[in-house]
Structure 1
């Protein structure tokens, strides 16, 4: 078997075994309307749990208060369990256990504990009862992101086609 034929066979084998399904980012838009009409909103990255309602929150991004960007909130933990468990929210608003802060000292940010909404100055400086009817969580429409294996597969197919094409011309 020639080198070109071997290359074509190997490239084809790689491409056929490397195809995988596309990865879907678990991104959600959220918003909460405070008693006075102010609105906290942003995006969160998380994983929907088996009940189909609860979302374990990995991070918060693009937090806004009344449409104005607030400081980044890289510190996201459970209010009831601290850093030992992930923060959780729900589509229905029935489960709210999250602290999102600028740092571990929580100099600014917000907290939902299921019965209260508490926030720093950038997010309303509020201390008020939580109302699940004012909470909204929706899945963000995302584009499919190809897995690295898919890219390798496409490259393998291309190399295989080039090798076969070169063999036919020789």
Structure 2
């Protein structure tokens, strides 16, 4: 094997190994979407992905829209169950990547005039519920999993790692064509 080709493969393997073995932080940003009978809510969610790689402890929600238009800011987040019992958004706000175990409320004020949330099963019945009010439509109904989405936004380091792998691959391919 020629030296150039050998060096190219070594660099490619090192790049792939570095990208694969890099530690990923548990704090992350997520794209959120839910469609109810009132309309579609989208937002950016900041939170911490737990060790089960599914549960997200939410720390903030921003860039909210309702039916494609900017919606009221929601600085107060917490457990929906706690907000019903205590009257304010307290406790840990929980979303999940697969839509299970949701216990989340996001409101514009502590008395929640505008906002939305997911009520976990058990308090009202054996199923989860979704509720919204004010600038997010006005609805209360059974949670529909097919209408829910929470996906991780790729970190810039991950994107750069993938681009570097692609660049090394193209470099190696170019060197092969020169022969």
Please indicate the TM-score interval, normalised by the length of the shorter structure: 0.5 to 0.7
CA contact (8 A) 1:24 1:142 kept: no
Pick the aligned partner of 1:143 from 152, 156, 160: 156
Question: Offset of 1:143 from its aligned partner?
Answer: 2.4
Q: Deviations over 1:76-108 (max 9, x none)?
A: 001123555310011110121111000111111
Q: Which residue of 2 aligns with 1:73?
A: 74
Matched residues in 2 for 1:40 and 1:84: separation? 22
CA contact (8 A) 2:77 2:90 kept: no
Q: 1:116–1:81: structure 2 CA closer, same or farther, 3 Å change rule?
A: same
Partner Cα distance (1:41, 1:22) in 2: 25
SS in 2 for 1:133: helix
- Residue matched to 1:113: 119
Deviations 1:94-133 (A, max 9, x none): 1211110001111110111132111112111111211122
User: For residue 63 of structure 2, what is the aligned residue in structure 1?
Assistant: 62
**What is the DSSP-based 3-state SS (H/G/I as helix, E as strand, rest coil) of the residue aligned with 1:107?**
coil
Q: Does 1:31 align with 2:37?
A: no
- Aligned match of 1:10: none
Report the 3-state secondary structure (helix = DSSP H, G, I; strand = E; otherwise coil) of the residue aligned with 1:81. helix
Structure with bigger RCO (C-alpha 8 Å, 6+ apart): 1
1:52 aligns with 2:53: yes
Establish whether residue 88 from structure 1 lines up as the match of residue 94 from structure 2.
Answer: yes
One of 109, 116, 127 as aligned partner of 2:140: 127
Maintained 8 Å contact 2:26/2:48? no
RMSD: 2.1
TM-score by length of 1: 0.66
Q: Gapped runs of 5+ residues in structure 2?
A: 1-22, 84-88, 121-127, 158-179
1:134 Cα deviation after fit: 1.1
SS at 2:100's partner residue? coil
Unaligned runs of 5+ in 1: 1-20, 145-170
